[in-house]
Structure 1
């Protein structure tokens, strides 16, 4: 088993048209701590400073809540972390693999498993083992759905983006999850950062094997030993957004700049 160690930096800068008197945000911007990842250090902060606390959600994700009540026209939300990743081997199995996990086999708000059952039934006919099934599903998704920004949102369901034929990493991941679940393989949504010059957060898939959860990235067509840093896991995007929140102001606000850096130690 190969071990990788990284330092991860995340910084999001927001600007506002008018003064903000209260800004309340929920953050998933530090590495997931568990299974094949071990967090060595982590720090989350804001500028202006605010009241903060952290907790674990039902999936084991580390969630920070920061509330800023100092009047401001801009806000920075940032994290610095060190994490160790254990690269796991993908343990193949003959189909049906009989791997059970109801939370990640059933439909979720953005993924209707029943919708994908007919497509999954056709794909699985030519797959003898789990590795073949995963690769054929990813190939099917990439043939049917082209990467294009601006046509979908975080609220677009897997069914909608599949029928549209276009989407971004979130959409490709959720369609892949729908097909895996429809094939009887537990699969979950992952939000985090890639380990090679990340520009923004990324979405990929983990599917369950007898040896644990194994990553696959349908957007970048990468399989198994990919070494990405996961921030959060869940049933679909709704369980994993990096930043959600609200603010009190008479003007609008927007994300001005996002800086993400990953350094190998």
Structure 2
């Protein structure tokens, strides 16, 4: 088990004074098997009102508004979380189970085609080639491996609105793109897959206790074949001690860390910093 201290700061500055802004943030980790939130808080400065609720997908949402004039907005989410590997037992499900009508109905949201994850025919063929003759579990890992081998990790070449097929055609992207690619490609052969948003300590094998490092929001997937199995297609690893789940959904749009609207202000710039410290 490891204890992680996460400080996620988002700083907006505006070209002109903003008269009012309304926002919602999904930055607070979830309490899950293998993940215990010891403390968590989110503050926005300035803010005139805030409230919290649990959204449809289960994520904790902090909704806040600022009804006073402001030239900048700073949002800080700070959490301490104990994380440990989750041991899953039992046999994994075969294709007959995944194709059963009741299972398809129950998992329909994580089998659905979405704008961000929809695969093209080349990706569908890649999925079929790796699924042929393999178990769903082996197929899922093989597809993730093939995607990662083909797609170079290059920050800055894609954005939050980039679709999976666009990253695939460029053969470049970041963790969000690889998670979208894996989700859509696995769904195309009938493996329920959900998009996971959270954090990752970047030094998964060499973290120094008590030393803060620069991290970032991270994305990976969980696929179902008898149980939910987490997998990080960017790093080709199973989450175990350094991944922290914030939210799950069909795609990035379901678990966007922060979004909102404002009146006035003109253009805005955003600076994001994530600092992660392994404490134990």
Assess same fold via TM > 0.5: yes
Return 121-130 or 39-48, whichever deviates more: 121-130
TM-score by length of 1: 0.88
Match of 2:14 in 1: 16
The question of 1:142 aligning with 2:148 is answered: yes
**Which of 50, 53, 63 is the aligned partner of 2:51?**
53
Please list, as runs of the form range in 1=range in 2, the aligned pairs for 1:6-85 lying within 5 A after superposition.
6-85=4-83
Q: What are the Cα deviations for residues 179-226 of structure 1, in whole angstroms up to 9, with x where unaligned?
A: 22223221111111103445221111111243x422211112212435
* CA RMSD, 1 decimal: 2.3
Find the aligned partners of 2:163 and 2:78 in 1 and give their Cα distance: 32
Find the aligned partners of 1:85 and 1:226 in 2 and give their Cα distance: 5
Is the contact between residue 9 and residue 74 of structure 2 (CA under 8 Å) also seen in structure 1?
yes
Is the contact between residue 84 and residue 241 of structure 2 (CA under 8 Å) also seen in structure 1?
no
- Give the paired residue count: 261
Find the aligned partners of 1:126 and 1:82 in 2 and give their Cα distance: 44
C-alpha displacement at 1:114, in angstroms? 7.4
Find the aligned partners of 2:108 and 2:33 in 1 and give their Cα distance: 19
Find the aligned partners of 1:76 and 1:52 in 2 and give their Cα distance: 14
Match of 1:202 in 2: 218
Find the aligned partners of 1:263 and 1:4 in 2 and give their Cα distance: 7
Find the aligned partners of 1:16 and 1:134 in 2 and give their Cα distance: 44
TM-score by length of 2: 0.83
Please list, as runs of the form range in 1=range in 2, the aligned pairs for 1:99-110 lying within 5 A after superposition.
99=98, 100=103, 101-110=107-116
Is the contact between residue 88 and residue 214 of structure 1 (CA under 8 Å) also seen in structure 2?
no
**Which of 156, 164, 174 is the aligned partner of 1:168?**
174
The question of 1:216 aligning with 2:231 is answered: yes
Match of 2:206 in 1: none
Structure 1: gaps spanning 5 or more residues: none
Find the aligned partners of 2:92 and 2:271 in 1 and give their Cα distance: 47
Find the aligned partners of 2:61 and 2:71 in 1 and give their Cα distance: 25
Q: Measured at CA, do residues 235 and 36 of structure 1 come closer, stay the same or move farther in structure 2, by a change above 3 Å? A: farther
